Structure 1
């Protein structure tokens, strides 16, 4: 009996020792796990902190740098890159304020508008053209020169025509004075596939330019009349801007485009030059200050991940039937 009690006591003692060991092991593992989590969170917050510092430095770096002395004599520069659209460097929303600042600055003695564009919206191009004409009248002592590098076609040339002079490279692409509207018609394919279009409208022409409905001769004539009217507006702007320098031919307003050397011969451009050569030799102010309106980081992020996705989709859907200077 005593021996049995002794065995039971030894067994209980072993169980207690085993329990203590297991408890210590669990505590040790829990402590290690907690330390790992703390290290991970520490690294995460360090990255967040570094990102915030870099973001703040990017956004507000201008506050830590002395402002450029734009009161000193200089050539003002504004750039248009890409299509003439409602958004971006070719939009009236961005270009007009930049031109206003360039002309208004006391230190600017002349303005260069650098254009690399295949064309785009006649509305946006017309708004910028009108503003250039207004600014030239308001600041008669400041000249505006367009410098073309790769391309200044259609809507881009619509804008350029308002300049005092146009400078090109001999291989630049210049011209394309015309208007187009494009789209697709699927009525034949739908008929073959047995697909019926069920479009209901109030107004006989409300479905005008619908790609899934046939277009009538009356609608074609109406669309062509609109194209001709916008084309004539383009022609009038070019004639007014270029004046007697323009050597008119039957093809000059046909929508064709030419290399820079031919454009100079035809009076579509005035001479050869670059931003630096025009600033140095024509404006006589080698120091160049860029007034182009730039997008900041939040705007780029929002456009990339937010509203721009929807607007791009809408632009794709609504592109059929729109008028463009291309």
Structure 2
């Protein structure tokens, strides 16, 4: 399709939606071989998704097991800022998995859909590591560490854990977990079935997640959009390509 055709297509009176794909691990940094989801890389693309002020909705197509709680919050906050500013509804579609930080992103939407077999939830916080307290001594290695501040070497894998250090870590995890819970409750509200253990880190299939109020419905993106906006709905895939061609997006 030529650029002129794209621009004319963009101006059609038919309902239009922009699709923003959020696939991968949520983490700062990354490389050309492994692109993470993070605020720095996504912010320009998020802005591009909201360029069309007359579109019917912005679509989040999510396939993520989660990752950094900070990056999840930054991405989600930016999406909500632009949605509220432009008064554009957000609809999320969860593919294979929207867990942990992936579900954080999904819950930024006004409506969430998934496949019956999608994995949804995992509202919790985890950190993991290894202990090598005896390994280096068996190898005849002497480790020397110098710090200023008694807690500077907290959770050092080459020394035995202390109850104080573990308690400190759990306190940090609990703070982050509470923030996660507050976010989900603020977004999902009375839709949630809070009689179930929603915030324990468990995850469910899409079918069960609907009963729990974590999602709004079961359905594929094309089917749901056709049902909501009609057979003539125009879907614009938002890409990270630079230049004038990317402004119009990729149409289907």
TM-score (norm 1): 0.67
1:118-197 to 2 correspondences below 5 Å: 118-140=65-87, 142-197=88-143
SS at 2:236 equivalent: strand
Q: CA deviation at 1:103?
A: 1.9
1:33-44 to 2 correspondences below 5 Å: none
Determine which of 25, 33, 37 is the counterpart of 1:83. 25
Gaps of at least 5 residues in structure 2 are: 244-252
Q: CA deviation at 1:231?
A: 0.4
Structure-1 residue corresponding to 2:6 = 68
CA distance in 2, matches of 1:78, 1:287: 14
The reply on whether 1:243 has 2:189 as its aligned counterpart is yes
CA distance in 2, matches of 1:152, 1:236: 18
CA distance in 2, matches of 1:89, 1:195: 37
How many residue pairs get matched? Answer: 233
Q: CA deviation at 1:135?
A: 2.1
CA distance in 2, matches of 1:204, 1:104: 51
Task: Tell me how large the CA RMSD over aligned residues is.
Answer: 2.1
Q: Tell me, yes or no, if the aligned pair for 1:175 and 1:257 is still in contact at 8 Å.
A: yes
Q: Tell me, yes or no, if the aligned pair for 1:80 and 1:89 is still in contact at 8 Å.
A: no
Structure-2 residue corresponding to 1:255 = 201
The reply on whether 1:282 has 2:198 as its aligned counterpart is no
CA distance in 2, matches of 1:223, 1:290: 41
Q: CA deviation at 1:89?
A: 5.5
Structure with the largest fraction of helix: 1
Q: Tell me, yes or no, if the aligned pair for 1:276 and 1:286 is still in contact at 8 Å.
A: no
CA distance in 1, matches of 2:76, 2:205: 23
TM-score (norm 2): 0.85
